[in-house]
Amino acid sequence: MSLFEHEAPAAGLREQKKQQTRLDLCRAARRLVLERGFDATTVEDVAKAVGVSPRTFFNYYETKLDAVVGPVGEVGTPDARTRFVAGGPTGVLIEDLAELYAAGFGTDSEVLEDISQISEIVRSEPRVLARFMASGVQHESAVAELLSARTGDDLAPEFASLAASLMSMLSMRAAMALGRDPDRSLIAALHDNCAMAARLFAPTAAPTDDRRRG
């Protein structure tokens, strides 16, 4: 076994730990903002809540506002991004986008809590709402990079924008479905929503004579 093969699992574990710390900082920032208000929450408070130093905080986010919004420039997980770029896991683009997005969800309860917290924060903090709106460009850029890497082509920006907007909307609808049916899984709900979206582009049978007369 080569030196690089020995190091690969460790690198994967380091990346997983970094991703978890990034999410922990985000959720701590949201929780503290809800408890104390945006202006009364400091970077030091957020870092302390996670058990890291303020210097470590700045390795993940440039500002407190960025932490509240979260890692919008990342889609899925490193492993999921690798599979997606390689053309997997199914070879069907919309299904593979669903798998990519779902990989970054966390548990269903965490997703529901995230949505609840974000909804409450943006109602009282216009700065957070504005930052969420602006983050859409960063998210689209990340999706465009992944799509281009998968296809090997320079895709039209409009295509990447459409894909990012569509998947964000379908992910939100899937999360909302959990509130109506807690027994469903978020991943299953996302795939169901993707299947419904795909029906919009499926050919439909011509109406029969009876249907025309009706």
Same domain, 137 and 39: no
Same domain, 86 and 59: no
Asked whether residue 211 is domain-assigned, the answer is no
> Residues 6 or more apart from 185 whose CB is under 8 A from it?
108
- Checking if the pLDDT of 13 tops 90, the result is no
Whether 63 and 126 have beta carbons less than 8 Å apart is answered as no
- Name the residue range of residue 91's domain: 72-202
- Checking if the pLDDT of 32 tops 50, the result is yes
- Checking if the pLDDT of 211 tops 80, the result is no
Same domain, 76 and 58: no
What are the distances in angstroms from CA 196 to CA 94, 97, 122, 141?
A: 11, 15, 29, 26
Give pLDDT tens digits for 128-172: 888 888 888 888 888 999 999 998 877 888 898 899 999 988 988
What is the mean predicted confidence (pLDDT) over 14-35? 90
Return the structure tokens found at 146: 């992944």
Asked whether residue 78 is domain-assigned, the answer is yes
- Checking if the pLDDT of 206 tops 70, the result is no
Same domain, 100 and 132: yes
Q: How many domains does the chain have?
A: 2
Record the pTM.
0.71
pLDDT at 10: 44
